[in-house]
Structure 1
Amino acid sequence: MAAEKVCLDGEKATLLATLYGRALDARSPEPILNDTMAARAVERIDHDFTKIGMSPRNAGAVAFRARFLDRWAAEFLAAHPGATVLHLGCGLDTRVHRMDPPPEVAWFDVDFPEVVELRDRLFPGRPGYTTIGSSVTETSWLDRVPADRPVLVLAEGLVYYLDEAGGRELFRRIVDRFPHGEFVFDALSPFGLRLQVLNSPVRKAGARMHWAVGGPGDLESIHPRLRCRDAISALDLPGYDRLARGLRLATRLMRAVPAMRRAAVFYRLEF
């Protein structure tokens, strides 16, 4: 099978670092996420992954983030069989395959056309699954999604790359379109956004971040129907005890600093 050539830049290129992080985790002696499909995809892509700033040391954080959002997604789907899932900025995430929802779930993966074309070549289709090639903030793509079911909106590693006005309008359009549902995503505070100058994969990709979330109130102000169900610091995700000793110590020290503890937060909003 011929290797896939990849020509991505800016925020689109960061999907390669995320994919590689999950692949490194899958190859480790004690994987956290064990995303073997990600590892196989890396082997099919013609790219020097050693130059994108992702290492085994920080791959664990990528795996923790994905596993935690998978857990929240699974809770929603268990409570709402036959729901619609909007996986926004899906990149090369294998979440639909990891979670393996029944065909009654209408799952839509949405990302830029060139990203969707690449993922369609790398990953197999499955019943109930549709890919849509579009910028997520060009919301005409929503017309392709039935609006008569509860909706789960997944946005891992996306929100901070959106223009705030466009992101808020995207959230409003989704809330107005569906009867009820949840948003599940990670976000950065203004301080967390400034810290991204230290993020090697983001720096090497030349990506720019825009939308900082100050807290639940910022998000609830988007639409009267939105309520924050959970807001959990990235430093409080379960499983950090499995990290190397030095990383565990660094995590404990960062938890003691309020600004650091709020720098990256996982939100679950309901409406």
Structure 2
Amino acid sequence: MNNEKIKPKLNGTAETMLQCFYARAMHSKNPKNKFHDAKAEELIDRLDYDFSNAKKDTAMSGGIVARSVVFDELVSEFISKYPDCTVVNIACGLDTRAYRMDNGRLTWYNLDLPETIEVRDSIYQEKGRISTIACSVLDEKWVEQVKVRGKMLFIIEGLTMYMTADEVKKMLAIIRDHFDNAYVCMETLCPYFVKKEGIEKSIKATGATFTWGANCFDDLGDIAAGFRKVKDDNIVRGMLTLTPLYGLVAWMPIVKKFAQKILVFEKA
């Protein structure tokens, strides 16, 4: 890995990965905070990008870090139970979870669009047990590159809010039809916030728009045909980890109703 500056050429949904990466890195740099992402801290200065919008967007950064905390817990639990598992991190962006979760035995595929993987590869240069796949998740050709099978975990974080219901259905159908032992952790946006991306100024600045949301697994209906619910989770637990005072309102049903959801389900 060299120290040459990388100037990402991304826009729209793909560009949102830079805001997410910045949020995790900046939160991690504060030693007083409980969430730490050493890899993001190490690499953030490699990017030649104007993060001024992300720096001011506390609504975006707080949500990003809170969901990272909860996803880390869910993924860690799965890996502890199945240490030789295979993880497919869909719409990975510059996510560094593989390095926080690696137990020396798992196989981890980071999947994203070719233009995104080009940026990722220029920074991480991943190969071996942790590697990349440059392909749209809606193009089933990507499944051919997942050579190591077994107990499968699919992480879908920061993606479905930019998809249509039909696209989510197609993505899940590809997973269902090509993988046995499929276990999915998928973030969804509260439907109330669809078309309200203006709340997160840095996301709006990329040109990305929110298009779909769901509050629980039952809301998915035939979108998740062939899967069964494990549990409905949300990012409130992550918010409590970051800000204990949040506990004063976290018990309120309305808080959980509007929080980002993480739906956990498996192939039936």
Q: Give me the TM-score of the superposition, normalised by structure 2.
A: 0.88
- Superposition deviation, residue 223 in structure 1: 4.4
8 Å CA contact 1:83–1:105 kept in 2: the answer is: yes
Task: Report how far residue 269 of structure 1 moved.
Answer: 0.8
Query: Residue 268 of structure 1 is aligned with which of 240, 264, 267?
Result: 264
**1:39 paired residue number:** 41
Give deviations 1:140-181, integer Å, cap 9, x for gaps: 111222374121000111111122212211101211212212
Selected match of 1:98 from 100, 114, 118: 100
The 5-angstrom pairing of residues 129-208 of structure 1 reads 129-146=130-147, 148-208=149-209
Segment drifting more, 87-96 vs 125-134: 125-134
The aligned residue for residue 26 of structure 2 is 24
1:256/1:129 CA distance change after superposition, 3 Å: closer
Contact kept, 8 Å, 2:126 with 2:132, in 1: the verdict is no
**d(CA) in 2 for partners of 1:257 and 1:2?**
47
- SS state at 1:77 partner: helix
Partner of 1:257: 254
Choose the corresponding residue for 1:83, options 73, 82, 85: 85
Residue 129 of structure 1 and its aligned partner are, at CA, apart by 1.7
Partner of 2:237: 237
Task: Please tell me the residue identity of whatever aligns with 1:207.
Answer: A
How far residue 203 of structure 1 moved from its aligned partner, in angstroms, is 0.8
Q: 1:154 to 1:241 in 2, by over 3 A?
A: closer
Q: Distance in 2 between matches of 1:108 and 1:241?
A: 28
CA 1:32–1:55 in 2, change beyond 3 Å: closer, same or farther? farther
Provide closer, same or farther for how the CA distance between residues 231 and 126 of structure 1 changes in structure 2, counting only shifts above 3 A.
same
Q: Could you say which residue in structure 2 is the equivalent of 1:52? A: 54
Letter in 1 for 2:260: A
Displacement of 1:238: 4.3
- Partners of 1:30 and 1:164 in 2: CA distance: 40
- Residue range with higher mean Cα deviation, 69-78 or 31-40: 31-40
Could you tell me how far apart the structure 1 residues matched to 2:8 and 2:109 are?
Answer: 23
Residues 25 and 56, structure 1, Cα contact 8 Å, conserved in 2: no
**Alignment pair present for 1:74 and 2:76:** yes
Q: SS of the residue aligned with 2:231?
A: strand
Alignment correspondent of 1:115: 116
| 1:56 CA drift (Å) | 6.0
Cα distance, 1:238–1:21 mapped onto 2, change above 3 Å: closer
Q: State the one-letter code of the partner of 1:17.
A: Q
Structure 2 unpaired stretches of 5+: none
Residue-pair matches, total? 265
User: Take 1:241 and 1:65, find their aligned partners in 2: how far apart are those partners?
Assistant: 11
Moved more, 168-177 or 224-233: 224-233
Gaps of 5+ in 1: none
Measured at CA, do residues 226 and 39 of structure 1 come closer, stay the same or move farther in structure 2, by a change above 3 Å? same
Q: Is the 8 A contact 2:68 2:238 kept in 1?
A: no
Letter in 1 for 2:118: E
Which whole-Å CA distance do the structure 1 matches of 2:21 and 2:153 have between them? 22
CA 1:4 to 1:147, structure 2 compared with 1: closer, same or farther past 3 Å? Answer: closer
1:220·1:227 contact (CA, 8 Å) conserved in 2? no
